[in-house]
Chain A
């Protein structure tokens, strides 16, 4: 598997792993059928993400992109976190094999899902701010 050293580092030593019991927002994306689920927890104070953590079921790239995404939004303002793209996650990891690009997409969506949940809990409609998070973008299964 042609993973970069950075990917292997974040896979072997993932940053910010674990549940967060007092999270202000929790987002979950992906689907067990596809083989990856990412769950992100955020703590927000004064519009700043003061803490973030994740739990991921998935391949090496899924774990590494989750880890990197948490690093990229930690300590950032919500507005900055909303601009996180999958491309930024990939670049920070020195690239991903083409078949793994969808993992970085999931990581971006997981952060957005956690922010949506945060807005909802504040009584704010997240859609105009965060946009819609597509179901599971890579997979469209025919059931049966």
Chain B
């Protein structure tokens, strides 16, 4: 029996019906500019303020005005890192520490800063996809301006010990930013408990609308503007507010955060069932630590096959997934994340990422376990690489 299974929720999620309902009035009757004094402007101002308060509450920020709305995760990352770099430079600190498997919104921003006189140290993430706190401590220098380490990885779903890492940075008087785009709405994120200074999030990863996000900036940090212009967002992020966007984001965040206690144990159960089932396939492996991992993330490699052809065949069976192969990354190299955990190119090319949300069920897992093994067998039967692997009887990966 065929089925449609959307299993690419780390790429983006479906808009929640509640978020959509909350947005509608701001796409129709309430079109006033929140900076205006008249009635419809006051209504939209209230909506933006309420959204800010809701986001702050969901993340346990101490004040709503620590939440700054942006156009999404990429902008938040750019702003946090470039802003902190500028603050550091004023004090003669031009060194930044990050990790090897950050999202490109972070890595490419750091490359840009390197071209402008900053020095960057990228921490190893080891085979389990986790940074080692003692390696962070060892990398901190007198001139370190910022540590930026992602909360949860978008490909292999590993969750870093953010609280511990932030404490190490603070012990040395260094600012700490985390790209929490994959974590917010998915796992509990308590900003005051974590003690981070800056945190990026993106609405479309937790069933909110696309093109909107936020940056948390701890009170007292005077981050310079990235987008200059009007006085919105306390004068440091100009541009007429994306009212429907922030309203939808706040509604989606509230909903997805509230669902964590019942959703995550269920997702972990079906995730583990799928991982265990797929590990019975000859020469397969799971990428990243199994415990410190997002509840809906499955990332596997199957030796002897290439990821894109696997995705195309899965798509023909109604399963939408993603891969870190070169062909799907649009470059010659497979995903930098898979390489960073020490996988050789030829194994990284055969990767498959399945990411679940609340909409996924055990029936989806059973269906994937039914359709995927024959696809792998078929691709292997036509793969000269598989032939070689079998002939040489290479050890299991």
Contact = CB atoms under 8 A, between A and B. Distances in A.
B382 A59 contact: no
Interface residues of A, number: 30
A19 B381 CA distance: 10
Interface string A35-64: 111110000000000000001111111110
A17 interface: yes
B384 A36 contact: no
B382 A35 contact: no
A124 interface: no
Contacts of B327: 35, 58-61, 99-100
A14 interface: yes
Nearest to A60: B312
Contact of A59 (B308, B344, B387): B308
Contact of B383 (A56, A99, A138): A56
Contacts of B332: 34, 138-139
A56 B334 CA distance: 18
A60 B384 CA distance: 15
A17 B309 CA distance: 15
Interface string B323-341: 0011100101010000000
Nearest to A58: B306
B146 to A, nearest CB: 29
A18 interface: yes
B307 to A, nearest CB: 8
B129 interface: no
B322 to A, nearest CB: 12
A34 B304 contact: no
Which residue, B312, B325, B349, has most C-beta atoms of chain A within 10 A? B312
A108 interface: no
A123 interface: no
Given A1-B312, A57-B385, A60-B312, A33 B330 contact: no
Interface residue tally on B, bucketed by range: 20 to 34
B312 A57 contact: no
B316 interface: yes
A37 B385 CA distance: 7
A129 interface: no
Interface in A22-36: 28, 32-36
A138 B349 CA distance: 16
Given A58-B306, A60-B312, A18 B345 contact: no
B384 A55 contact: yes
A38 B312 CA distance: 19
A137 to B, nearest CB: 12
Interface in B330-363: 330, 332, 334, 344-346, 349
B305 interface: yes
B346 to A, nearest CB: 4
Contacts of B326: 34-35
B330 A57 contact: no
Contact of B346 (A33, A61, A99): A33
Given A32-B346, A35-B326, A57 B308 contact: no
B118 interface: no
A35 B345 contact: yes
A86 B382 CA distance: 22
Interface string B293-311: 0000000000011111100
B30 interface: no
Given A17-B382, A35-B327, A35-B346, 20 more contacts: A1-B312, A8-B312, A12-B313, A14-B382, A18-B382, A32-B349, A32-B385, A35-B334, A36-B306, A37-B383, A37-B384, A55-B382, A56-B382, A57-B304, A58-B327, A59-B308, A59-B327, A60-B312, A60-B327, A138-B332
23 contacts: A1-B312, A8-B312, A11-B312, A14-B382, A32-B345, A33-B344, A33-B346, A35-B325, A35-B334, A37-B384, A55-B387, A56-B383, A57-B385, A57-B386, A58-B327, A59-B309, A59-B327, A60-B309, A60-B312, A61-B327, A62-B306, A62-B309, A63-B382
Interface of A: 1, 8, 11-12, 14, 17-19, 28, 32-39, 55-63, 99-100, 138-139
